[in-house]
Amino acid sequence: MENAKKVMLSGIQPSGDLHLGNYLGAIKNWSVRADEYDCYYFMADMHTITVRQNPADLRRRTIEQLAQYIACGLDPEKNTLFVQSHVHQHAELGWVLQCYTMFGELSRMTQFKDKSKKNADNINGGLFAYPSLMAADILLYQPDYVPVGQDQKQHVELCRNIVQRFNGIYGEVFKMPEFLSAKAGARIMCLTQPESKMSKSLPEGCVFLMEKPDDIRRKFKRAVTDSDTERCVRFDAEAKPGVSNLMSIYSAVTGKSYEDIEREFDGLGYGAFKPAVGDAVVELLTPIREETERLLKDKAYLESVYKAGAEKAGWVAEKTLRKVYKKIGFLQR
């Protein structure tokens, strides 16, 4: 019987340790969707190698990311969790879709330009073509919805262009996916540079899920606020980006509105507000860190999860790949 649930898919590269921005912007929202959607979440390890990786670190981060997914509430019984490179259909469809992606389209990708500047000594073909692999990641599972951040919107539009182009030639092969923007807390900014998104590349302004409570509190106490003289806790993303970012985090963690937060800290100033945000984040992340540490001691369980996930994902992906291969004229294998 055809699955009555809508399909949702997303993935994060294990190129660095997961942080608060990953959790509040993506993973927290994923965990509440399992009853409503057939969900596929993966560790996008194939995407990481466009930049040189230490092999041992990549393996460690991949298994840690799986443990963190589970600790964040992604029940393997309700969600399909897998490692991208364990499902060979991603690479195979990625190559096919490269042949239906125009050079000019890839040349216009902002992330390619940005990453080329940062990695001038390693501007490789994978870095250029990885939006085609990202399209394959998505389209293999014929998802109805793909949750994405603002920084991926350009790749999302390219994916939709590829679907339109391929279906225009061969008929309705791929479902046109809809892309969902995350809600509250979707864009968590760096604590030290609030004009930039929270990122592992700015570690002093980034709060990692596995970080110790004292280190988290220290980072929030040192967080950039504003140079204005009023020093009041008020949301104004343009005039007060630092305080507004802290309010966004506090709101996403506690569920309080900006109005509630402004009333709570009325007359107290930043000296009271910053430690309160730190304490709230510590309270949120401590059970996640402790559960991750527990899971990492049970390697056999984690292996069973990613093997079962790859088996299910591979079965679904193969159906799409066989259809694509037949349409473009490959002999059945």
Question: Which residue numbers are catalytic?
Answer: 115, 197, 200
Q: Where are the alpha helices (DSSP H) in the chain?
A: 20-22, 28-31, 45-48, 55-71, 89-98, 103-107, 110-118, 125-139, 153-170, 213-221, 241-254, 258-264, 270-296, 299-328
- Phi, psi (rounded to 5 degrees) for 54: -75, 120
User: Which amino acid type is present at position 22?
Assistant: N
Q: State the CB neighbour count (10 A cutoff) for residue 197.
A: 19
Three-class SS of residue 230? Answer: coil
Find all residues with CB under 8 Å of 320, minimum gap 6, and list them.
Answer: 89, 93, 139, 140, 141, 142, 174
